[in-house]
């Protein structure tokens, strides 16, 4: 697969991630900094390394499933898997400028 196709797929994955919101914070999970990394292998399987705002997050069970399901809707993606990590622990420093502005932190 060419690098251009990978870049396009990366953009599509980011676009999908930006449609998923933390139910307690009116900012999408990408801008919140909850997505640590996205890997795509040659078979077009996607693995997303993400965190939650806290280990006790009320959507700890449902949010990773929602991310997997929405990423799987991308035509090129064969499969998607989310791995939750708390290393490093999420902090407000991981939020984008846009998210900080939206939440009044700037």
Total structural domains within the chain: 1
Where does residue 87 rank: exposed (0-12), middle (13-18), buried (19+ CB within 10 A)? Answer: exposed
86 located within any domain: yes
Q: What is the pLDDT of residue 2?
A: 46
Q: What is the pLDDT of residue 55?
A: 84
12 located within any domain: yes
102 located within any domain: no
105 located within any domain: no
**Higher per-residue pLDDT: 56 or 88:** 88
Q: What is the pLDDT of residue 54?
A: 87
**Higher per-residue pLDDT: 48 or 102:** 48
pLDDT band, very low/low/confident/very high, at 101 (cuts 50, 70, 90): very high
Containing structural domain, residue 7: 3-94
33 located within any domain: yes
35 located within any domain: yes
* Average pLDDT estimate for 8-26: 92
pLDDT band, very low/low/confident/very high, at 3 (cuts 50, 70, 90): low
104 located within any domain: no
* Average pLDDT estimate for 73-102: 95
51 located within any domain: yes
pLDDT band, very low/low/confident/very high, at 89 (cuts 50, 70, 90): very high
Q: Are 32 and 94 in contact (CB under 8 A)?
A: yes
> pTM here?
0.90
Q: Are 34 and 50 in contact (CB under 8 A)?
A: yes
CATH number at 46 reads: 3.30.300.130
The continuous run of DSSP H or E covering 9 comes out as helix 3-17
């Amino acid at each position: 697969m060419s690098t251009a196709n990978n870049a396009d797929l990366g953009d599509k994955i980011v676009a999908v991630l930006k449609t998923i919101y933390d139910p307690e914070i009116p900012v999408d999970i990408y801008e919140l900094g909850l997505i640590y990394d996205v890997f795509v292998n040659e078979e077009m399987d996607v693995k997303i390394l993400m965190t939650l705002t806290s280990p006790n997050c009320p959507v700890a069970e449902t949010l990773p499933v929602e991310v997997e399901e929405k990423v799987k809707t991308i035509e090129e993606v064969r499969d998607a898997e989310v791995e939750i990590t708390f290393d490093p622990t999420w902090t407000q420093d991981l939020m984008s400028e846009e998210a900080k502005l939206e939440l009044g932190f700037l």
